[in-house]
Amino acid sequence: MAQNELAHALEILKSHKVRLTPQRKTILNYLITHHTHPSAEMIYEDLKQHDDSISIATVYNTVRLLVDYHLVIELKNGDGSTHFDYFGQPHYHVVCENCGKIADVFAPEFSRLNQQLDEITRQQTHYLVNRTDIEVKGLCPECQAKLGLLHNR
Amino acid sequence: MAQNELAHALEILKSHKVRLTPQRKTILNYLITHHTHPSAEMIYEDLKQHDDSISIATVYNTVRLLVDYHLVIELKNGDGSTHFDYFGQPHYHVVCENCGKIADVFAPEFSRLNQQLDEITRQQTHYLVNRTDIEVKGLCPECQAKLGLLHNR
DNA sequence: CCCTAAATTTAGAATGATTCTTAACGGAGA
DNA sequence: TCTCCGTTAAGAATCATTCTAAATTTAGGG
């Protein structure tokens, strides 16, 4: 399944005449198999640990490329860097405003909601819509507990 | 109306025991009366032109404060800086991926959609939801025309 | 299978938005 | 009015990201 996912993503790139370099395959595969919402720096460090060492510039170039082709989406969690997530299945994200932890949300309504939003947006602004991202912010269960304790003193 | 809006916003800050300094009032008033989605730098430059000169550090501090109290929301348009918008009426934004122009979208469904999203998010992740932002990306009418011309050659 | 053009990778420098630091200042409650 | 403590300001510092230029590599054609 992850194997198919990689092949599928590579196929999309290929069909756009994007060169399939080893670095791009490595990073794409990393994102498909690690749903940890890593930053460019984290991808770079993690790959350095293992066999493949890829320059930080290439990591930045590649994730931007993958975002352009809608294979990956960008996330901000307030730590100053940009985080990335492979976008195989439609979903959105919740970010903890206290610790920055990111969680995925898979909602069956997601596609329909997006279509609705696209339509409203198009009618009201005449923009040609490419993508719609939903970003929810709040407190993760752990931070609720922590902050709850403090409030109870 | 803008007058009331300012008073209303100041009241919210006051109720949270936030000090109402002249700088904060100036910046808040600027954002209430300028729906141009300015960056911190743009706010700083624009206020320098007129009577009030406020340090760039204070502009950054103040917009962060206003975001924390949900009076203002942050936007990214791909130019590297963060843009700000007074959030008096619930709305969301479309960003042009070509030129960065930001447009507001006011949808009557917006509040209901948000509630739905909050509920789904809460059930699935147990996060305590604070706010939900929707960000649509696409091409503004002008850029559609420009790029359309290029494609037709 | 080899060659070539054009794209990509890389290391390190450069950029630039944002944050930090520290001293002076000023709101607001008593 | 006084005092405490949060806020402002200028400039330095940080750090994520982009840029630069040279070396390398992909992919298509012969």
Give tens-digit pLDDT for A116-145: 999 999 999 999 999 999 999 999 999 999
Q: Residues near chain D (nucleic strand), Cβ < 7 A?
A: A 17, 19-22, 39-41, 56-57, 60, 64, 80-82; B 18-19, 21, 23-24, 53-58, 61-62, 80
**Which residues on B lie below 8 Å from A121 (Cβ)?**
94, 105, 136, 138
Q: Would you say residue B80 has pLDDT above 80?
A: yes
Q: Name the closest residue on chain B to residue A133, using Cα atoms.
A: B135
- In this complex, the residue of A94, A117, A120 whose CB is nearest that of residue B127 is A94
> Where does the pLDDT of residue B3 fall: very low under 50, low under 70, confident under 90, or very high at 90 and above?
low
> What sign does the CA torsion over B9, B10, B14, B20 have?
positive
Q: CATH assignment of A90-153? A: 3.30.1490.190
Mean pLDDT for the stretch of residues B114-123: 93
Q: Enumerate the β-bridge partners of residue B82.
A: B76
Question: Is B127 in contact with A141 (Cβ distance < 8 A)?
Answer: yes
- Using alpha carbons, select from B57, B62, B102, B54 the residue that is nearest to residue B78: B102
- In this complex, the residue of B109, B124, B133 whose CB is nearest that of residue A120 is B109
List the structure tokens of A45: 């460090």
The ipTM (two decimal places) reads 0.91
Chain-wide mean pLDDT for chain B?
92
Neighbours of A85 (CB within 10 A): 19
Measured distance CA(A76)–CA(A89) in Å, rounded: 20
The length of chain A, given as a count of residues: 153
Exposed/middle/buried for A84, CB within 10 Å: 0-12, 13-18, 19+?
buried
pLDDT at res. B142: 95
Q: Is the Cβ–Cβ distance between A103 and A94 less than 8 Å? A: yes
Mean pLDDT for the stretch of residues A17-41: 97
Q: Is the Cβ–Cβ distance between B101 and B140 less than 8 Å? A: yes
Half-sphere exposure of A109 (CA within 13 A, CB side): 12
- The set of strand D positions with any atom below 7 Å of a protein CB reads 6-11, 15-20, 25-28
The answer to whether B1-88 and B90-153 have equal CATH topology is no
Q: Would you say residue B69 has pLDDT above 70?
A: yes
Residues of A (67-126) whose Cβ lies below 8 Å from B:
76, 92, 94, 96-97, 103, 105-107, 109, 113, 116-118, 120-121, 124-126
Sequence ranges of the domains in chain B: 1-88, 90-153
- Using alpha carbons, select from A56, A49, A12, A132 the residue that is nearest to residue B117: A132
Task: Please give the share of chain A, as a percent, with pLDDT higher than 70.
Answer: 94
Measured distance CA(A39)–CA(A37) in Å, rounded: 7
Does CATH number 3.40.630.30 belong to domain A1-88? no
Phi, psi of A127 (to 5 degrees): -75, 150
- In Å, how far is A65's CA from the nearest CA of chain B? 14
pLDDT at res. B152: 45
